[in-house]
A and B are shown apart, each in its own frame.
Chain A
Amino acid sequence: MRARTLPLTRQRSGGGKPFTRKALAVAAVVSLGTGLLAGCADDGGDDSSGGSSSGEGKTTITMGLFGTMGFKEAGLYAEYEKLNPDIKIEENVVERNENYYPALVNHLTTNSGLMDVQAIEVANIAEVVGTQADKFTDMSKVEGVKKDGWLPWKWEQATAKGGETIALGTDVGPMAICYRKDLFEKAGLPSDREQVGKLWAGDWNKFIATGEKYKKKAGEDTFFMDSPGGLLNAVLSSEKEKFYDASGKVIYKTNPAVKAAFDLTADAAEKGLVQSQTQFQPAWDTTIANSKFATVACPPWMLGYIKGKSKPEAAGKWDVAVAPKSGNWGGSFLGVPKSGKNVEEAQKLVAWLTAPEQQAKLFKVQGSFPSAPAAYTSPEVTGATNEMTGDAPIGEIFSEAAKQIPVQVIGPKDQIIQQGLTDNGVILVTKGKSAAEAWETATKTIDNNLDQ
């Protein structure tokens, strides 16, 4: 009944209208449907083609970055655009790598939605090299790129088994120990950076021994070190092998170096030398502001972080000493996916951005330490000082540390294992659990997380 009456009611309103209405409905459905399909299918192509056609004949290169990598802040885009008038650079920044990386993996596996240049954090580089190498172009073939321009281990980290280098290193994080001169003096310890370095040269156990001396004098007001996670990370990063062996097997449970680092940290926690804090959490930030600890494992970028969280009166009270053993903490890479629209131009840009001169400029503005040794002799590095460390020649100290960093075997799940040892492990010791219990919880969590 209803089916028959409906056309009649429409007849009254004129013959043409039903068609337009129907056409409208069909159009709506079709456009919705295709929109849906298009949304699922391929958003990457649309993005970059839209980008490239903008401007008058200019090529737009899109950069997918995380955190504050500082290329824009250091004026490098503007400089490159000046040198190459037909290039326009746009960046798309995700604040945290935890959010950036899963999306990057998704885009790589589906080969869509990728930018012309993608940044990769050192914690993820092994996984990307191991599983997604065929999605990237070989940067070692790009004109002007030479293997010996980078620290050898940095170059190796981004090189796949087949020999292709999928990304070029930007910065590294050579680790030193940043310490509070005023707190060391109060605790009766030397405060000159040479002598402080000698206190623990070559041995992390000496570092703990210094901590005990510190605690005897300093009492309960302040802690020797900022966090168990920071200590564990520092010790582990100076090892040649930590969680994986050279053949790619997970060995973290049987590697004596890992257990030793864990026990050393647990010991420090039991003795009350480290705060019961997790790094980069608001509560930890507060302890920086309140000057609650005397040392922290400290790559160059950490000084910037400390500066951001400190009260003004802490300026100049810090100094930098050599760590017991050198290690690396942090750093990134830039890669060019094959599916990009402007592969060649993007490669040129990456080669330029990671050249020593640009790395030196980046260090000056952003504190990201160069991964190209040629930059270590540049005035930007040799003459570098930091507001927090007064006139300490941080450039020289970190350059020295960078040269001594071992070639470390890294693996795809390093981050999960390290996080397990820290967040489900040594932190528990600071909360009254025994080292054995903490190890048990940590390994159980890690094994469950690794099990496919």
Chain B
Amino acid sequence: MATRSDIAASPVKGGAAPGRTPGSRSADKDDRRRSKLSRRWQRDARWSPYAFVSPFFLLFAAFGLFPLIYTGWASLHQVELTAPTDMNWVGLKNYTRIFDDDFFWNAAQNTLTIGIISTVPQLMIAMGIAHILNYKLRASTFWRVAMLAPYATSIAAATLVFVLLFGRDYGMINWALGAVGIDPVGWQDDKWPGQIAVSTIIIWRWTGYNALIYLAAMQAIPQDLYESAALDGASRWRQFLHVTLPSLRPTILFTVVVSTIGASQVFGEPLLFDPNKGASGGAEHQFQTLGLYLYEQGWVNQHLGRASAIAWTMFAILIVIGLINQLISRRLRASS
């Protein structure tokens, strides 16, 4: 670089002696300027990538990591919402009491059963719908959009409508049941009707989403597989069983994982389905999920310490579920 500036400088001054000094001086200056610049560039190159990725980390630290750690710290204390800075050290008491907290285990069981009765039918219906949509249909885009419409509604709006539908005395579902001679069901009063009703809201909302994912995966299955199966004399049903399902295996696994995560977080539906507008998930906690119990302890009863301990216990349970999930999926992958 320095030589280039020499060459550039000399023709201007015609090679005269006095001219050399300013030339070399300017070259010096130029040199310094350039090295300064290049140092800056180096620093720039070295540090600006960090600056560019930092927004995520700043946000994560403020809204992810800090709350996570602080929740852990709070869970070891007795803290009330009315005085959150006033913490009394209680050690692991908030955790040990969870073991004989009937309400916690009731909520855990409800989360599991609601998870099962919402996820299993949901994925099976989604598979069926995707299979139908995969045929040549008139107005296929319309059907696909229609399938996704429930997903676009808000949980609150959907749940409030379902509360009316499931009403015991004036609800449409009991009216329909009455028309075929079945006694009215207290959808919000008893355990299984309540859980089925909550699951129905979840199923209604998520089936279309899963169906579209299955549909996308189905369309990626090569047509020749079906042709050769047809040549071998396989019926439509056989084709579905032996061509479609095996090809969809990774997709099914994905939807199972996503639905399981979703099921462990169920909150809005049971909260708004409760006729008492409380967070207790029914008069006898029939459909109180873990998320709801956590909310009740923290925000209704104002025991932040207990709520934090519940949050961390849920975290631990989710890790265990995650590990089991991984184990199963590894088995599945190995077998395929």
Contact = CB atoms under 8 A, between A and B. Distances in A.
Interface stretch (B118-126, B131-139, B271-279): B271-279
B240 interface: no
A116 B303 CA distance: 28
B31 interface: no
A171 B137 CA distance: 64
Given A22-B44, A448-B103, A7 B283 contact: no
Contact of B275 (A40, A281, A445, A450): A281
A443 interface: no
Given A25-B52, A416-B301, A423 B81 contact: no
A449 B81 CA distance: 13
Contact of A283 (B41, B58, B167): B167
Interface string A123-155: 000010001100000000000000000000000
A445 B46 CA distance: 59
Given A32-B58, A281-B275, A445 B82 contact: no
B46 A416 contact: no
Given A26-B51, A431-B189, A109 B84 contact: yes
A452 B42 contact: no
Given A7-B38, A283-B168, A423-B283, A127 B82 contact: yes
Contacts of A7: 38, 41-42, 44-45
Contact of A102 (B277, B296, B299): B299
B163 interface: yes
Interface string B268-294: 000000011110100111000000000
B6 interface: no
B170 A419 contact: no
B232 interface: no
B280 A29 contact: no
B170 A283 contact: yes
B30 to A, nearest CB: 12
Contacts of A105: 81-82, 302
A139 B19 CA distance: 87
A441 interface: yes
Nearest to B305: A452
Interface in A108-131: 109-110, 127, 131
B78 A424 contact: no
Contacts of B102: 444
B47 to A, nearest CB: 9
A33 interface: yes
Point out which of B52, B55, B278 has the most chain A C-beta atoms below 10 A from its C-beta: B278
A278 interface: yes
B69 interface: no
Interface residues of B, number: 51
Contacts of B277: 98, 280-281
Contacts of B283: 423-424, 427-428, 431, 441
Interface in A407-441: 416, 419, 422-424, 427-428, 431, 441
B28 interface: no
B37 interface: yes
Contact of B169 (A33, A278, A283): A283
B224 interface: no
A452 B278 contact: no
A282 interface: yes
A18 B51 contact: no
Contacts of A32: 55, 58-59
Contacts of A6: 41, 44-45
A83 interface: no
Given A29-B55, A40-B62, A127-B82, A424 B280 contact: yes
Nearest to B52: A25
Given A15-B37, A431-B189, A448-B101, A278 B275 contact: yes
Interface string A1-39: 011101100110001001100100110110011001000
A377 interface: no
A286 interface: yes
B83 interface: yes
A428 B301 contact: no
Given A105-B82, A131-B82, A29 B41 contact: no
Contacts of B285: 445
A49 interface: no
A431 B48 contact: no
Nearest to A446: B301
A106 interface: yes
Given A18-B41, A132-B82, A441-B283, A419 B276 contact: yes
A382 B179 CA distance: 52
B54 interface: yes
Interface in A62-109: 98, 102, 105-106, 109
Nearest to B38: A7
Interface string B135-171: 0000000000000000000000000000110011110
A32 B60 CA distance: 13
A109 B82 contact: yes
A278 B189 CA distance: 12
B96 interface: no
Interface in B20-57: 37-38, 40-42, 44-46, 48, 51-52, 54-55
Contacts of B85: 109
20 contacts: A4-B45, A7-B45, A22-B44, A26-B51, A29-B54, A32-B55, A32-B59, A33-B58, A36-B59, A98-B277, A109-B82, A282-B164, A282-B167, A283-B169, A283-B275, A287-B169, A424-B284, A427-B283, A451-B306, A452-B80
Given A102-B81, A424-B280, A428-B284, 17 more contacts: A3-B45, A7-B41, A7-B45, A15-B37, A22-B48, A25-B48, A25-B51, A36-B58, A106-B81, A109-B84, A286-B167, A286-B170, A419-B278, A441-B283, A444-B102, A451-B303, A452-B78
Name the 10 nearest CB pairs between A and B, nearest first. A7-B41, A423-B276, A131-B82, A3-B45, A6-B45, A449-B301, A25-B51, A286-B170, A29-B51, A431-B189
